[in-house]
Amino acid sequence: MQEKEGYVLAPCCRSSGDLQTYRRMVEIGDKIKGLKLDRPERWKERISEEVQKLLSLKEQLGDARPQKFQLKTPKGTRDYNPRQMAIREGVFKTIINCFKRHGAETIDTPVFELKETLTGKYGEDAKLIYDLADQGGEILSLRYDLTVPFARYLAMNKINTIKRYHIAKVYRRDNPAMTRGRYREFYQCDFDIAGQYDLMIPDAECVKIVAEILSELNVGDFIIKLNTRLLLDGMFAVCGVPEDKFRTICSAVDKLDKTFWEDVRSEMVDEKGLAPEVADRIGEYVRLNGQLELVDQLMQDEQMMKNKMARQGLEEMKLLLTYCQLFGVLDKVSFDLSLARGLDYYTGVIYEAVLTTEKAQTDGGDKNEPVGVGSVAGGGRYDGLVGMFDPKGKKVPCVGVSIGIERLFSIMEAKAEAAEGKVRTTETQVYVASGQKNMLEERMKLCNLLWEGGIKTELSYKKNPKLLNQFQYAEEHGIPFLAIIGEQELKDGVVKVRNTSTREEETFPRDKLLEEIRTRVGPS
């Protein structure tokens, strides 16, 4: 019904009754349009008649006036436009390619889980979980991450070994800084290895994967901080932290990447009641970072070596660093005693990747909205989580990493902005065009020939489009070739092929067209 545009008021149809009325309005509009112009006196009169009918019909449309409502996406969410999607797809491709290079399978789980599946997994953060309304039936919540659904999946299907990636959206009722690539709905991009294996081998592969992805995305310099929960707990014990304060002191340490030691110390002492000398001892340790030499240094620390957990943690770290060296990523990692990670469920190695240069920003991004600050990947070992779902408590050791892909999107977007280059949002190879009238059917036939030949092709949806407009469309959309026909080409059984950028034109027999186009566009 598109030909009726523009001469009737477009009402805000809210019901099929309205739609009926609206349709009659359209009919009346058509009558007006169809009036013969050769009898103007009759014409005027009829218009008045029909306009009267239209006005009365318009009154019948109770809520014909556009309703007042908010035209927006929910707080903390966003649409992706085609340009953003093209960038997003590029980032996904790099990441998925890396996961596949490491032999990973993929799974998918529902966007919501039974609420009880998520209960007791996130500590204080549980308040950020989105619940679904109780509409009868099961009580459901939107997934908060991909790790808990993964653990539920393993337990439910009694899977003991798997190497899988999962890319999907997760939901947190947070107050995120959207300008910095943080949202309430955001992608997670997880790679996990489940199974009973020898110490630190899968753990090292996770570090390797983070290094590969961040290098390939070319987002600037980065460092992957490493630590282990065992060593952290051992260190707390050595410093004199009471065992029941391990977790709360751990979450104070976790803030060291965002705040100064003095503030963390004050939280420990003033808020959490730690003895000042204990806090100071912790302060000595958490300022340490390095690589194998730091492990050796701490292995000289008698206090540390007396503690079983600390000793074991140091041995694990030594092994991990050795494997990182074999995987060629030692220069990307830093053993960092201040790394703690928030989540309760980690039981072994933990890691977190941070960007160390503000590449996107210095490249010309908006100076007021820094991107690229902070963590872009994180993870660790969680050997107890699957057992929480198994009816017999059977454990499946797991280690994994989550790529903070929204931050990476934001950086890539800022880079694309800065480069001012065109991001193609389609892959169209040929635009079928004609400068003559009544060529629609011939254009459609030619278009079909190209489609059947697997060539990505478009044509104008107008009956008689102007040639210049067709050229312009191809140019604006970066379509490399035009296939042009007119009476002469049809008579000669040929098609003219125009290179959009060089403006060179060549003419080919119709039956050679596919072949010629294919040579020019390459394999699709």
- Interface residues for a second copy in 127-186 (CB under 8 A)? 130-135, 137-138, 140, 142, 152-153, 155-157, 162, 164, 169, 171, 173, 185
461 binds a second copy (CB under 8 A): yes
Nearer to a second copy, 4 or 281 (CB): 4
Contact assessment for residue 283 and residue 249, using Cβ atoms and an 8 Å cutoff = no
Give the residue ranges of DSSP H helices in 420-522.
440-452, 467-476, 487-492, 513-521
Query: From residue 349 to residue 368, what is the string marking binding to a second copy with x (rule CB under 8 A)?
Result: --------------------
3 binds a second copy (CB under 8 A): yes
Nearer to a second copy, 159 or 269 (CB): 159
395 binds a second copy (CB under 8 A): yes
Binding to a second copy, residues 481-520 (CB under 8 A): none
Give the number of residues in contact with a second copy, rule: CB under 8 A: 138
Closest CA to 406 of 374, 379, 382: 374
Nearer to a second copy, 40 or 454 (CB): 454
Nearer to a second copy, 10 or 177 (CB): 10
Query: From residue 81 to residue 110, what is the string marking binding to a second copy with x (rule CB under 8 A)?
Result: xx--xx-xx----------xxxxxxxxxxx
Phi and psi based region of residue 222 (left: phi greater than 0; alpha: psi -120 to 50; beta: remaining): beta
Nearer to a second copy, 106 or 362 (CB): 106
Cα dihedral 95, 97, 103, 108 in deg (nearest 10): 60
Task: Please identify which residue in 263, 271, 366, 427 interacts with a second copy, judged by CB under 8 A.
Answer: 427
Part in contact with a second copy (CB under 8 A); list of ranges 291-299, 318-326, 372-380, 514-522: 318-326
Task: Please identify which residue in 50, 190, 192, 233 interacts with a second copy, judged by CB under 8 A.
Answer: 233
Nearer to a second copy, 113 or 336 (CB): 113
Part in contact with a second copy (CB under 8 A); list of ranges 252-260, 292-300, 451-459, 488-496: 451-459
Q: Which residues pair with 507 in a beta bridge?
A: 496
Nearer to a second copy, 209 or 354 (CB): 209
Task: Please identify which residue in 440, 467, 490, 514 interacts with a second copy, judged by CB under 8 A.
Answer: 440
Q: Provide DSSP, 364-388.
A: T--TTS--S-SEEEEEEE-SSTGGG
CA distance readout (Å), 68 to 63, 72, 190: 11, 12, 41
CA distance readout (Å), 22 to 6, 9, 32, 107, 285: 14, 9, 15, 48, 75
Minimum CB separation of residue 88 from a second copy in Å reads 8
Query: From residue 370 to residue 389, what is the string marking binding to a second copy with x (rule CB under 8 A)?
Result: -----------x-xx--xxx
CA end-to-end span of the chain = 36
195 binds a second copy (CB under 8 A): yes
Pairing, β 105-106 against β 162-171: parallel
Minimum CB separation of residue 96 from a second copy in Å reads 10
Q: State the Cα–Cα distance between residues 293 and 296, nearest whole angstrom.
A: 5
Query: From residue 250 to residue 289, what is the string marking binding to a second copy with x (rule CB under 8 A)?
Result: ----------------------------------------
Nearer to a second copy, 103 or 421 (CB): 103
Part in contact with a second copy (CB under 8 A); list of ranges 363-371, 442-450, 489-497, 503-511: 442-450
Minimum CB separation of residue 111 from a second copy in Å reads 6
Minimum CB separation of residue 9 from a second copy in Å reads 7
Nearer to a second copy, 203 or 489 (CB): 203
Neighbour-count burial of 479, counting CB atoms closer than 10 A to its CB (0-12 exposed, 13-18 middle, 19+ buried): buried
Minimum CB separation of residue 281 from a second copy in Å reads 20
Question: Which residues make Cβ contacts (< 8 Å) with residue 460, sequence separation at least 6?
Answer: 433, 443, 469, 470, 473
301 three-class SS:
coil
Contact assessment for residue 125 and residue 461, using Cβ atoms and an 8 Å cutoff = no
Contact assessment for residue 140 and residue 199, using Cβ atoms and an 8 Å cutoff = no
Binding to a second copy, residues 206-225 (CB under 8 A): 208, 212
388, two tokens: 């929480």
Residue with token string 């709905």: 185
- Here the contacts of 116-125 (C-beta below 8 Å, separation 24 or greater) are 117/148, 117/149, 117/152, 117/389, 118/143, 118/144, 118/148, 120/388, 121/148, 121/344, 121/345, 121/385, 121/388, 122/343, 122/344, 123/343, 123/344, 125/172, 125/342
Between vectors from CA 104 to CA 352 and to CA 377, what angle results, nearest 5°? 15
302 binds a second copy (CB under 8 A): no
Minimum CB separation of residue 388 from a second copy in Å reads 5
* Residue type at 297 in one-letter notation: Q
Query: From residue 38 to residue 67, what is the string marking binding to a second copy with x (rule CB under 8 A)?
Result: --------------------------x-x-
Minimum CB separation of residue 502 from a second copy in Å reads 22
